[in-house]
Amino acid sequence: MTSASPLHLSRWLLLLLGSLAVSLCSCRTAKSVVEAVEVKPSGFLTHAKELKEDRKRSTFIGNWWSTDKKLLAAADRCRKIYIAPMVYDQVRPDPSLVAKIEHNTGWRKRHLPEMAKYTHDKFVEAFRKAKDPRYVVVDAPEADALTLELNLLEWGPNTYTGLIARQAVDIFTLNIGGEVMMRNTRGYTAIEGRVVEPRSRQPVFEFADKRYAQVVLIISFQDMRRKGQARYAVKQWAARLEKMLRAKPGDKVSDSSSILLWNF
C-alpha cells in the first residue's frame, strides 16, 4: 500500500481548512475568522469602555445605548438629523508589512481628506435616499435635530502585493484559504460614531466597528482598487445605521455575509 506524499497531504489539509471556513460562514465564528474580531474605540466616544456586542440589536461590533428615559424620549421626538463632517486627525498608523511595500504614510495621509469626505457623503446619501425615512437630513445643527458624529479610527488600503499573495494560496484552497489565513494582507477600515441629542448634547447611541475586505469566491472588485474595501465598508455601515435608527423595537437589521460570490 503506497503512502500519500507530503505535498498531497498538505494540499488536502488546505482544502479542508477552506471547506471548514465555508461551512462556518453563517455563524458568529465565521465573522471572527473571516472578517473582524475586535475594535478598540478611542476617547472620541464618551462611553468607549462600555461598548458591547449585541447581534440582536446591531450589526456593529461595539455598541452603547443610553438608559436615560428622558434623554431617549427627547431623542425619539427628533425628526431631523445633522451628519457632521467626519474627523480623521487621530487615525492610527497602518502597521501591515504589505502597506510599507506599496504605499507609505505620506500616501495615506494625502488621501485621508478624500476618504473622510466620501464617508460623510455616503452617510448623508443613505439617510436621504432611504425608502421609508424617519429623519430629514439638515445641513447644519438645529435645536430639534440629532447630530451624527463620525471618526475614522483605522484605514489600511488594499495592496496589489497582498492580493497576488492571497490569490497564489487560493489556487490550492478553493479560493478561500488565502483570504482566511492571510487576513492581515487584506484592506481594512475601522470607524466609530455617536448620535447626540440636540438640547442636552448627550449621546444616546455610540458604536465602533472594523471590517476587513470580504472574502469573495469568484471575483472581488473591491480588491482591485486601493480604496475599494473602505468604500464598500462605508456604504454598508451607512445603510445599516440608517436602518437601525428607524427600526421599531424588536426589529433586527441584518448584516452582510462574510463570504460572497462576487461584489461591486
Return all residues near 197 (Cβ < 8 A) that are at least 6 apart.
71, 74, 75, 78, 146, 203, 204
Residues 145-194: tens digit of each pLDDT = 999 999 999 998 876 565 555 555 555 555 555 455 555 666 789 999 99
The residue that leads in pLDDT, 32 or 232, is: 232
pLDDT interval class at 88 (50, 70, 90): very high
pLDDT of residue 260: 52
Give me the percent of the chain exceeding a pLDDT of 90. Answer: 50
DSSP code at position 59: S
pLDDT of 95 above 70: yes
Q: How far apart are CA 22 and CA 28, in angstroms?
A: 13
Strands 136-138 and 145-156: unpaired
Average pLDDT, the chain: 79
> Of the ranges 24-38, 39-53, 226-240, which one carries the lowest mean pLDDT score?
24-38
pLDDT of 92 above 90: yes
The residue that leads in pLDDT, 31 or 46, is: 46
Average pLDDT of span 59-74:
96
pLDDT of 133 above 70: yes
Domain boundary assignment for the chain? 11-263
From residue 151, how far is each of 11, 71, 91, 115 by CA, in Å?
Answer: 43, 23, 8, 11
The residue that leads in pLDDT, 78 or 21, is: 78
pLDDT of 259 above 60: no
Nearest 10 degrees: Cα torsion 40, 44, 46, 48: 0
Q: How far apart are CA 234 and CA 150, in angstroms?
A: 11
pLDDT of 125 above 90: yes
Q: 101: which 3 cell numbers?
A: 511595500
pLDDT of 196 above 50: yes
pLDDT of residue 180: 56
User: Whole-model pTM?
Assistant: 0.77
